[in-house]
Structure 1
Amino acid sequence: MFRNLFLAAVLAALCAGLVMSAIQHFRVTPLILYAETFEGEGHTHGQGHVHEDGTEHTHEITEGDGGAVVEEWTPQDGFERTAYTVLANLLAAAGFALVLGAVSMLASIPITFANGVLWGIAGFFVFSLAPAFGLAPELPGMPAGDLFARQVWWVGTALATGAAALLLVKTRAPWAILAAVILVVLPHVLGAPAVPDEPSTVPAHLATQFAAATLGTTAVFWIILGAVFGGLNDQFSRSLS
């Protein structure tokens, strides 16, 4: 059973990760490349930005031997950058799929084709939409708070939102509904790390377009992940019976 669940998670992650990579290539990556043309205008180097695939893009300039200026390595535009993005997406997809599988086993709620889309929608709300209310997807050149503080807040928000969703699925008692509301709201009451008070070189309309494209892409990713995961689980269960 565990082997089948693991295999279903990996295959679903492969499918969802490839689809997300294709959408990103045409809808998201062009916005990132365009935003990078603004990045050197009045922005401090050495600041990290978290892209839609969860990886940090750093533009740090340091001095090498003899005082020469050395720019930190980043993938070259084109095939190399695309390949690294696809690899990062597949690894992230595998991680998220395994998290869904682990929650399914611990909560004794099987992921099936009938409820796979609901699992995907829940994953989107927990890992994408809820954190985005406090930390919107960021383009290069946009001011951002401390990276570690943002990561801690993101993890805390995802855990609280996930716990709330699981609580509502397991019981609909009034105390559970109240506890779920508190869990969802609490991270936003505490607030995400503050953004430095400095001008952004990225036009506002571009940042809005990027946030919408990123959330739309992740919504498709999660729905595909849940549906394929559930369908494969059903298929493997029938093969065992």
Structure 2
Amino acid sequence: MTFLRNVVLVAAAAGLLASLVMTALQAYSTVPLILKAETFESAGEATGHDHGAPAAAEATGTEAVPAAAEAHSHGEEAWTPADGFERFFFNFLANVLSGIGFALILVAASEFAGGISGWRSGILWGFAGFAVFTLAPGLGLPPELPAMPAADLAARQVWWIGTVLATAAGLALIAFRGTVALSILGVALIVVPHIIGAPQPESHDSPIPADLHHQFVVATTVTNLIFWALLGGLVGAVRSRFFGSASEARGQLA
């Protein structure tokens, strides 16, 4: 019970602080691009049909399973937070919930691997989290803006989850097993999802300018990198206050 309590406390503290920084970064990076894309979406709806395009969530460090915002709007528009404080608040709330969730995964995984010895080690773990949850899935399913076409939601979710699991397993084999054969297997696991390929829409036609989408992908990737590095560093810095030495933490885990 002590171990589980400490895991939750470390994850809550690190996840909350990292989410605060992430929300502030998004306010000046991804959110303005989303608002700009929504003007293209509105213009397209005014000149086209009544089928509303999927609404893009804020691109968080939490850019997890593709959002289930696929339903077409027939007469009624789906509720979305108003611009300004309401949008900022709900974005912050989503960041906190997912940030703490990712921190729980990071803390638990690192403890099973021997624990994070300090903030420098934590940053390395954060880079691994970035590779698993943002970089690898983003190579096949880059972040989307409103009004952009997307493949079937279920197919995207299956590919995303498979890519995350394969990348995590591959990195673990490379980092912790130390044999050539297992390292080769790890590389293969990382590469296989991209050989299979992510689900793609039938058409990539979109009212969103290509340069705007490119800016959004870059902004999302950079903010996620900062989020994960900060999250890992905070976990490493906070961990010693709850677990003490690495041997003590392993004793709690046992």
Q: TM-score, normalised to structure 2's length?
A: 0.85
Give the aligned partner of residue 168 of structure 1.
174
Give the aligned partner of residue 19 of structure 1.
21
Q: Does 1:61 align with 2:67?
A: no
- 2: distance between equivalents of 1:88 and 1:206? 24
Distance 1:16 1:6, change over 3 A: same
Question: Please, which runs of 5 or more residues in structure 1 have no aligned partner?
Answer: 63-68
- 2: distance between equivalents of 1:161 and 1:229? 21
The match for 1:180 among 168, 186, 194 is 186
Shift of 1:237: 3.2
The match for 1:30 among 14, 17, 32 is 32
Whether the aligned pair in 1 keeps the contact of 2:53 and 2:146 (CA below 8 Å) is no
**Cα deviation per residue 1:200-235 (whole Å; 9 max; x = unaligned)?**
110000000000000000000000100000111122
- 1: distance between equivalents of 2:123 and 2:80? 36
The match for 2:227 among 221, 227, 230 is 221
Shift of 1:195: 2.0
Whether the aligned pair in 1 keeps the contact of 2:151 and 2:200 (CA below 8 Å) is yes
Whether the aligned pair in 2 keeps the contact of 1:131 and 1:154 (CA below 8 Å) is yes
- 1: distance between equivalents of 2:50 and 2:168? 36
RMSD, matched Cα = 2.1
Q: Does 1:96 align with 2:102?
A: yes
Whether the aligned pair in 2 keeps the contact of 1:45 and 1:59 (CA below 8 Å) is no
Q: Does 1:5 align with 2:7?
A: yes
Whether the aligned pair in 1 keeps the contact of 2:54 and 2:69 (CA below 8 Å) is yes
**Does the residue aligned with 1:37 lie in a helix, a strand or coil?**
helix
Q: In the comparison of the two structures, how many residue pairs are matched?
A: 234
Give the aligned partner of residue 139 of structure 2.
133
**Cα deviation per residue 1:76-115 (whole Å; 9 max; x = unaligned)?**
111111111100011110111111122123x332023241
- 2: distance between equivalents of 1:158 and 1:12? 22
- 2: distance between equivalents of 1:101 and 1:43? 48
Give the aligned partner of residue 66 of structure 1.
none
Give the aligned partner of residue 117 of structure 2.
112
Shift of 1:33: 0.4
Whether the aligned pair in 2 keeps the contact of 1:43 and 1:200 (CA below 8 Å) is no
Q: Does 1:76 align with 2:100?
A: no
Give the aligned partner of residue 54 of structure 2.
48
The structure that is strand-richer by fraction is 1
Whether the aligned pair in 2 keeps the contact of 1:43 and 1:141 (CA below 8 Å) is no
**Does the residue aligned with 1:45 lie in a helix, a strand or coil?**
coil
Q: Does 1:142 align with 2:148?
A: yes
Give the aligned partner of residue 65 of structure 1.
none
Runs of 4+ in 1 over 6 A off after TM superposition: none
Distance 1:23 1:139, change over 3 A: same
Question: Please, which runs of 5 or more residues in structure 2 have no aligned partner?
Answer: 250-254
Distance 1:43 1:179, change over 3 A: farther
- 2: distance between equivalents of 1:223 and 1:9? 14
Shift of 1:57: 4.8
